[in-house]
Structure 1
Amino acid sequence: MEVALIPPPPPMQPQTVYPQPMQFKDIDNLDQAVCKQAMIDYAAESCCLDSNAAKEMTITRNNGLTAYHYILETFTESRKTECKRKPHHGGSVDGSENGSAPSPWDVLCNADKIFHNHTKKMKIPHTEYIRPCNNCIGRGYIQCPECHGNGQKDCSCSKWQRNRESEMLLGSNVNHACPWCKDTGFLKCNKCSSSGRAICTECNGCRNMKTYTELTVKFINHVRDYIFQRSDMPDQLVKNVSGKVVFEQDLDQVFPITTHPIKEINNNSKRIINEHKHAFPYERIKRQRQRLLAVPVTEVHFTWKDTRSRYWIYGMERKVYAPDFPQKCCSCCAIL
């Protein structure tokens, strides 16, 4: 079957639209009591961390270092056509006599849910036509693959023949007839009931095939993101937690963030949006959405006995990252 991926037509020139003023919300920082309780809860859930250290430590400093998670979603659609065939059981045929077939991008097909991946298939109108089945040449049947059209198969009874010849040479008159073919040497073909014919597997005996063009529309949500954070904590941790939406824009084509006080966010918003403009030549951009999430990150410095170290609390879930927190000796931490 021939498959063709169809590029979308050139987009219409959009009307001049000016971006709305961008406003960004602030996010609150955590106080020392909350920072300590988060560490106590985290240590209680871990068999390796010293819960006494969490309870007895003294917090010397806690710094709010808000991280930012920028997310751009570009919702696109692609279209491809494929010639399909199926047995024709009779009935109407929507062919060219009913009108010209529309081009693939002129067929109406709406997304079921925006910003979600899914695929829809449909028949392009006025593309049907009837042709005799190539597999059986329009007869509806083919030669039986079991008996090759003979209606019977050779019987594998040569050992009975040898046994009977041996008995005859020894002077025995016992007749060892083949229990399957009764010494005829042939068996009836059960697959075709000895007719030598089998129903065509292509047209199912209909003799004709209905051919049409099938359109496959694939809706794809492309996602790119960028993490900005100033702590020594791994960026991936910020990506995997929730934050507070401080800016959101949902348009046919979004505008880059340009007025955020952090220049890196402005620059990367522009970079990612420009990349998506030219990244999908065989897809039509239907909608874009960008969000800027402020993810709370608090760096906590503490002392406990002779230990001076730090840990981080991040995300709206208040998860804890404490790679250098005092540990207690336990079997699960033993290094083999």
Structure 2
Amino acid sequence: MTSVGPESDDDQVDESEPVVCEGLNAEGTEVKPKLDFATVPGYSNVRLDQSLLPPPPIEFVPPKDSKQPDFMSAPVISEETARQALLEHVSQQCCWGKGAAEKLIFKGLQSSTSYHYVLETFTEERSTKWDFEPFHGQPVNGPQNGPAPGPWDIPASFSKYFVDETQHHEVPFTAYVEDCHKCNARGYVRCGKCLGRGKVRCGTCRGTGRRRVYRNGEQRIVSCSRCFGGKRRCPRCGGDGRITCPVCKSHCQLKWYIKLTINWKNNIGEHVVEKTELPDHLVSQAAGTLGFEDTQIRVMPISRFPVTEINAASGRLVASHQFPNRRIHMQHHIIRMVPVTQCFCQHKEKDVNYFVYGLESRVHAPEYPDQCCWGCTIL
């Protein structure tokens, strides 16, 4: 009596005989075809992987006079505004009680201004690689039509400044047609699941053609109803032993061409000056007063700001935004002034501090005492 294991829906390949298929050697490992690309002047080093192409140098003459900002102070809030902001913050938190916010005794408010400096540099990067598509009679713009233009000579435009965008272009006069290297121009390849046999081993009976069943409390061995003698038609190729070539999609030929990829990217550098314990990332996300804004092909570092740290950060970030492998189209930098008020309070003879920041009066209150209200039924 043959014992048959648990059923499985995974059909298995019969490995009784070694079969060598297209793309596989005798050991079953994939053999990648050697590709010989056409020689295109100016693109001799292009392969299947992308290669960056630095832009031609551009002479830039900085302006003689650079505009510097007029600075303003941030607004100061009252105790009433600070308490109302805390109450609204508490109402948005799960399981926070508002009793402490209503009974807080204010001991003092310390207002200050935080500064958020942002530099944006909008750049363009170009790279090339050989690519292909199935050839089905579409136009082929090859070398017979003229010499291929340089990668930075191909015109392309972006949609908007300071917005990331990617475009792909076929380099003119680089296309040619060649037989598919995957299927040798046959349009099909041998099925990798059944190795071209058209049948696979049944996963239900594990290729035995029999399975164990229980009827009326008795165990019996019966013929497998899902196969014929342990073999099933291959579900991938339908029993044909061949599948459509995944490379040429049965067209037998490929159109090869050099693909130009253009990436427009907005590179952002920022620096926050915050003297309190309020986390910097909260300052950068809050609304503030725009104290300075300038957009130029090349901006000049800010040098006359009353906070020395902002001047140093501007100089450091502007110097770091050089990008030798990209073309710089535009730069933009701003200074935002974000109001921050540290509230010193007392609740049940215990000191409690919290922050109200931003023009929208956001609250940061990690020390709030009633962060879990009594009688909460939310699990």
* 2:292 counterpart of 1:247: yes
The CA deviation string for residues 108-138 of structure 1, in whole angstroms up to 9 with x for no partner, is 1212232222211111111111223334444
Q: Which amino acid aligns with 2:312?
A: N
For 1:202 and 1:45, how far apart are their aligned partners in 2? 55
Residue aligning to 1:296: 339
SS across alignment from 2:152: helix
Q: Distance in 2 between matches of 1:260 and 1:155?
A: 77
Report the residue type matching 1:28 in the other structure.
Answer: P
The aligned counterpart of 2:260 is 215
Does the C-alpha gap of structure 1 residues 22 and 197 become closer, same or farther in structure 2, counting only changes over 3 Å? closer
- What is aligned with 1:33? 80
1:314 to 2:357 alignment: yes
The yes-or-no answer on 1:12 pairing with 2:55 is no
1:266-292 residue CA offsets vs partner (Å, 9 max, x unmatched): 101111111122xx3432222222121
CA distance 1:49–1:98, change in 2 (3 Å)? same
Q: 1:204 to 1:322 in 2, by over 3 A?
A: closer
Q: How does 1:76-95 map to 2 (within 5 A)?
A: 76-95=123-142
User: Comparing both structures, which one devotes a greater share of its residues to helix?
Assistant: 1
Task: State how 1:43-54 maps to structure 2 within 5 Å.
Answer: 43-46=90-93, 51-54=98-101
Report if aligned partners of 2:294, 2:333 keep a CA contact under 8 Å in 1: yes
What is the one-letter code of the residue matched to 1:107?
I
Q: Which runs of 5+ in 2 are unaligned?
A: 1-46, 203-207, 210-226
Q: Aligned ranges for residues 259-278 of structure 1 at < 5 Å?
A: 259-277=304-322
- The corresponding residue for 1:126 is 173
Provide TM-score, normalisation by structure 1. Answer: 0.76
Task: Report the equivalent of 2:152.
Answer: 105
CA RMSD of superposed structures (Å): 3.7
How high is the sequence identity, in percent, across the aligned residues?
A: 31
Question: Using the alignment, how far apart are the partners of 1:148 and 1:232 within structure 2?
Answer: 67
Q: What residue in structure 2 maps to residue 171 of structure 1?
A: none
C-alpha distance in structure 1 between counterparts of 2:338 and 2:157, whole Å: 35
2:321 alignment partner, SS class? helix
Given residue 3 of structure 1, which amino acid in structure 2 is its aligned partner?
D
- Per the alignment, in what secondary structure is the counterpart of residue 296 of structure 1? strand
Letter matched to residue 179 of structure 2? P
Count of residue correspondences: 302
Change (3 A) 1:41 1:206: closer
Residue 301 of structure 2 corresponds to which residue in structure 1?
256
Per-residue deviation, 1:45: 4.3
Deviations 1:134-179 (A, max 9, x none): 34444x44575599899x98999xx99xxxxxxxxxxxxxxxxxx9
Partner SS for 1:3: coil
SS in 1 for 2:292: strand
String of CA shifts for 1:206-245, please: whole Å, max 9, x gaps.
4432211111111222222111011122223212322221
1:155, 1:230 → 2: CA distance? 72
- Give the drift of 1:318: 0.8
Alignment of 1:113-152 (within 5 A): 113-138=160-185, 140-141=186-187, 145=191
- Helix, strand or coil at the partner of 1:104: coil
State how far apart, in whole Å, the 1-side matches of 2:242 and 2:97 are: 81
The whole-number CA distance in structure 2 between the counterparts of 1:154 and 1:47 is 58
Contact 2:68 2:302 in 1 (8 A): no
Q: 2:273 aligns with which of 228, 231, 243?
A: 228
SS in 1 for 2:85: helix
- The worse-fitting range, judged by mean Cα deviation, of 78-87 and 40-49 is 40-49
Q: Deviations over 1:11-58 (max 9, x none)?
A: 311134131232223321112321232233334445665534433333
- Measured after TM superposition, the shift of residue 81 of structure 1 is 1.1
The AA in structure 1 aligned to 2:170 is K
Q: Residues 119 and 217 of structure 1 are in contact (CA less than 8 Å); yes or no, is this contact kept in structure 2?
A: yes
Q: Could you tell me which residue of structure 1 aligns to residue 224 of structure 2?
A: none
Mapping for residues 177-216 of structure 1, pairs under 5 Å: 200-216=245-261
8 Å CA contact 1:6–1:104 kept in 2: the answer is no
- Alpha-carbon distance in 1 for matches of 2:339, 2:366: 19
1:170 is matched with none
Asked if structure 2 preserves the Cα contact closer than 8 Å seen for 1:141 and 1:197, the reply is no
1:65-94 per-residue CA deviation (whole Å, 9 max, x = no partner) reads 111111112222221112112232225321
Q: Which amino acid aligns with 2:358?
A: G
Q: 8 Å contact 1:5–1:282 — kept in the other structure?
A: no
SS at match of 2:67: coil
Given the superposition, is the C-alpha separation of residues 153 and 329 from structure 1 closer, same or farther in structure 2, using an over 3 Å criterion? closer
1:96/1:61 CA distance change after superposition, 3 Å: same
1:66 aligned onto 2:109: no
